[in-house]
A and B are shown apart, each in its own frame.
Chain A
Amino acid sequence: MNRELMKGNEAIAEAAIKCGCRYFFGYPITPQNEIPEYMSLRMPQVGGAFVQAESEVAAINMVYGAAGCGARVITSSSGPGMSLKMEGISYIAGAELPCVIVNIMRAGPGLGGIQPSQSDYFQTVKGGGHGDYNTPVLAPSNLQEAVDFTQLAFDIAEKYRTPVIILGDGLLGQMMEPVVIEEKKPLDIDRSWASTGWDGKSRKPARINSLNLNTEDLDAHNAKLQAKYKTIKENEVRYKEYKTEDAEILVVAYGTSGRISYSAVDEAREAGVKVGVFCPLTLWPFPEKQLFEAAKGKKAVVVVEMSAGQMLEDVKLNVPHDVPVHFFGKPGGSVPSSEAIAAEIKRIKEVC
């Protein structure tokens, strides 16, 4: 297969098209603009549709409409736009519709800035919208993963009938790296729930809906959702490890800070520190048991994030209680250098 040098945003867009996604609804916001730009050119070429919506609110509701028709549909945004989309994401989760949502994170809060950040972890992983729901969250740390996870996201979305979020950041969106994007066929699964125009006989008329005024029915619906989330937690956890076999210190980082930590680990090892990286690839479901095992017996865990410490909370919940957890990171759009992370690893080595 040919490797192509692509920007992360464009690679995500092409990966979606190559696995049968034919609908994009979105609104411009930096640093994800290459996704709608790319889609606006490509969708008509492949017989799909691109609509630049009047807002992120409208965009996610267009996604709700298209997803309700059983179509492969995607939208993308960044922090402020994601906040607006949360209403729709809650409805999509409630109505159990499959779709893929890409968040190329920028620093907040508020309008914040346009530089890369990982400060939407809470919003993305802990729900974001109203009600008891979760969305599977895939966090690529390089562009091949961005491609593979985009295609995987559609499969997970359709298999479980749930919105799936790709959580990237401005650095992953803007950088270029070689990628291989393969054609992938959509799953051969039951879509008889979808609204496709009723023929009046072969099925019941479709009801794409998240309203349930009867408490018993809504209880039952929530129980069904929770059972589904339990299955996802059992089946869809993904993570990777780097040089952890002999490590005394374990760095836990995802996405951009994950890949930079790989370099930091190499640099710290040159200085004689035995250190490795545990990199969650799914943030929900979080690799709870796997992290617990990986952290067992370590002298220290260091969480590296481009935030004030959000995944940190999940790490603290899932490492043995006798392993100290340190935090290195900051909010505001700064990308930590591998040198700075390596220096922190060396400092922690001294104190533990």
Chain B
Amino acid sequence: MKMVLSGFGGQGMLLAGQLLAYAGMLEGLNVTWLPSYGPEMRGGSANCSVIISKEMVGSPTIPTPDVVVAMNQPSFDSFINKVKPGGLFIYNKTLVTTVTTRDDITMIALDATQIAADLDNLRVANMVSLGTLIKHTGIVKPESVLKALAIKFGEDKKHLLEINEKAIAKGAEVA
């Protein structure tokens, strides 16, 4: 499965993609994670391509993704026409105001930033979207993502585990 996670730099989509890839690895699958890299840091657009597969992964680049998570308007605009027919497009409806629809893909309008705000932590919007992604693709088990989260955060950020886990669970509730 070829997935692109995209948002503003600082929205944490590169981290969300890493957790997804990490979870895939923990399940014994082949994975690649490839960031867009460039002079944009905080505030610019940043995306990553994640491939999780039983087969060997050749190309880590994804011109036509199966799944896209678009957390802001520029990401929505960049990727809406790239998703494969039959694919899944999750977008952050809190920040995406101009929506063009496609009827050959599944589109999920996720109130990611609002859900994060309700959890009193705007920074976990990425985890909300990750919860929605794993729920609707079934690409990895939620437990694997939580395990990846614990490894990635380590002792230093242990106190942040709970809120991130909550956000993932909230995202998974969205139909």
Contact = CB atoms under 8 A, between A and B. Distances in A.
- A and B in contact, CB less than 8 Å: yes
Contacts, number: 63
B78 to A, nearest CB: 16
Contact of A176 (B32, B39, B59, B61): B32
B91 interface: no
Interface in A103-118: 114-115
B5 to A, nearest CB: 13
B38 A260 contact: no
Contacts of B22: 5
A177 B33 CA distance: 7
B63 interface: yes
A250 B22 CA distance: 34
A171 B18 CA distance: 16
B59 A338 contact: yes
A5 B34 contact: no
B59 A260 contact: yes
A175 B33 contact: yes
Point out which of A114, A115, A170, A176 has the most chain B C-beta atoms below 10 A from its C-beta: A176
Given A176-B18, A178-B31, A260 B63 contact: no
A278 to B, nearest CB: 15
A171 B57 CA distance: 14
Interface string B1-42: 000000000000000001001100100001111110111000
Given A3-B25, A5-B31, A262 B61 contact: no
A175 B34 contact: yes
A257 to B, nearest CB: 10
Contacts of B35: 174-175
Given A174-B35, A176-B21, A177-B32, A261 B60 contact: no
B130 to A, nearest CB: 16
Nearest to B61: A335
Contacts of B64: 339
Contact of A175 (B25, B30, B60, B63): B60
B33 A337 contact: no
B33 A170 contact: no
Interface in A288-304: none
Contacts of A263: 58-59
Nearest to A338: B59
B60 A171 contact: yes
7 contacts: A115-B38, A175-B33, A175-B34, A176-B33, A178-B30, A259-B59, A339-B63
